[in-house]
Structure 1
Amino acid sequence: MKDNFSNNQIADKLIALFELENDNQLANHFGVERQQIRQFRNGTRVSLVQAIITELLSKIEA
């Protein structure tokens, strides 16, 4: 099983991908509260969602 990106890595990569500057802009981009981005960053649970996002971001970066 390959390593998945951490939630922090995912958030940082999405900020870069969408050419945003910070978590506030990421929250606005997805139409959520900034608190939800913070909770996502602080989450440590690894699930299928992280695996899917890791695969997608890896393809985009390639």
Structure 2
Amino acid sequence: MKKTVVGLTGQSGAGKTTISDAFRENGFEIINCDIVAREVTQAGNECCKELAKLFPSCFDEN
């Protein structure tokens, strides 16, 4: 099945959450990349641990 991906960007207050809620209510799958990015970069996350191993001189796990 072919899927279409739509990315929403804009300044704070531009309506991204409002349109995302409308899409969700109409059966669309929504991925909030702000939440994903925050989770990936939290201290102690597996991604951070791996980055610290690969780039010890320029990445501080904390």
Q: Same fold (TM over 0.5)?
A: no
- State the TM-score, normalized to the length of structure 1: 0.23
So what's the TM-score if we normalise by structure 2?
Answer: 0.23
**Structure having the larger proportion of residues in helix:** 1
Bigger CA radius of gyration: 2
- Which structure exhibits the higher relative contact order, with contacts defined as CA atoms closer than 8 Å and separated by 6 or more residues? 1
